[in-house]
Amino acid sequence: MKNIVLFGPPGAGKGTQAELLRDRYKLVHISTGDVFRYNIKNQTELGKLAQSYIDNGDLVPDEVTIHMLIAEVEKNPDAKGFIFDGFPRTESQAIALDEFLAKKNSGINAMIALEVPENLLVERILLRGKSSGRSDDQDESKIRNRFKEYQTKTAVLQDFYQKQQKYFGINGVGSIEDITLRLQKVIDQL
């Protein structure tokens, strides 16, 4: 099994790249954003709770996120592996994921981070917001708050995975094809 954490700040291109890698490596793509949107659209209890945090530009609490994502993994018992897009976002989520995968005699093979300058990310997200309809993609102050949350809570995962020798940072600027090739180079060596 290959289990990849695709990492990076909002707007780095994780979703786009995860879909391309999913097809190439026959992995299941689990996007935290997609899982949240499904739960929100269907007005589940977790969805309503998640929406209240998202509307404020905050990250959804660990307990809510962990329960949603583990349920998604359980829906795919025959998977060759997973690409986790937007999860884990905190060290406690990473620990919970490691413990869960260990029970399945598996683990994370690599965390690959897409590295992109913040100003370029803001431009990308505002552009995406014109077509996505997502309220958190249309307000620059909410976008910048997401970056602040990312830096204070999420970026610590770099150290977590570096200690396990599973962290790989790649340049996330360039054409979609160039970025995909950089990602494949890392994955093919796992």
Among 134, 144, 153, 166, the active-site one is 134
Phi, psi of 52 (to 5 degrees): -65, -35
Side chain identity, residue 160:
F
Whether the pLDDT of residue 59 is over 80: the answer is no
Q: Does the annotation place 160 within a ligand binding site?
A: no
Q: Can you count the helices (H) and strands (E) in the chain?
A: 9, 5
* Domain of 154, in residue numbers: 2-181
Q: Does the annotation place 13 within a ligand binding site?
A: yes
User: Distance of CA 79 to CAs 1, 73, 74, 94, Å?
Assistant: 8, 9, 10, 20
Any catalytic annotation for residue 26? no
CB-CB contact of 98 with 154 (8 Å): no
Count of domains forming the chain: 1
Among 2, 22, 142, 146, the active-site one is 146
119: how many CB neighbours lie within 10 A of its CB?
Answer: 8
Q: Does the annotation place 14 within a ligand binding site?
A: yes
> Quick check: is 186 in a domain?
no
Instruction: Please classify residue 124 by burial: count the beta carbons closer than 10 Å to its beta carbon, then call 0-12 exposed, 13-18 middle and 19+ buried.
Output: middle
Q: Which of the listed ranges 43-52, 64-73, 119-128, 162-171 does the model predict with the highest average pLDDT?
A: 162-171
Q: Does the annotation place 16 within a ligand binding site?
A: yes
Among 2, 22, 89, 142, the active-site one is 89
Q: What confidence tens digit (pLDDT) does each residue in 70-90 have?
A: 888 999 999 999 999 988 988
Whether the pLDDT of residue 155 is over 80: the answer is no
- Closest by CA to 100, choosing from 140, 122, 68, 125, is 68
Q: Tell me, yes or no, if the pTM score tops 0.85.
A: no
Distance of alpha carbon 95 from alpha carbon 98, whole angstroms? 5
Q: What confidence tens digit (pLDDT) does each residue in 6-57 have?
A: 998 888 999 899 999 999 999 999 998 788 888 889 998 888 888 888 788 8
> Quick check: is 190 in a domain?
no
Q: What is the mean pLDDT of residues 122-139?
A: 84
Cβ neighbors of 53 (< 8 A, separation 6 or more) are: 59, 60, 61
Whether the pLDDT of residue 137 is over 90: the answer is no
> Quick check: is 189 in a domain?
no
Any catalytic annotation for residue 144? no
Distance of alpha carbon 72 from alpha carbon 11, whole angstroms? 23
Q: Within 13 Å of residue 21, how many CA atoms lie on the same side as its CB?
A: 34
CATH number at residue 104: 3.40.50.300
Any catalytic annotation for residue 124? no
Q: Does the annotation place 157 within a ligand binding site?
A: no
> Quick check: is 13 in a domain?
yes
Distance of alpha carbon 43 from alpha carbon 143, whole angstroms? 24
Q: What is the pLDDT of residue 34?
A: 86
Q: What is the pLDDT of residue 176?
A: 95
Any catalytic annotation for residue 24? no
Whether the pLDDT of residue 142 is over 90: the answer is no
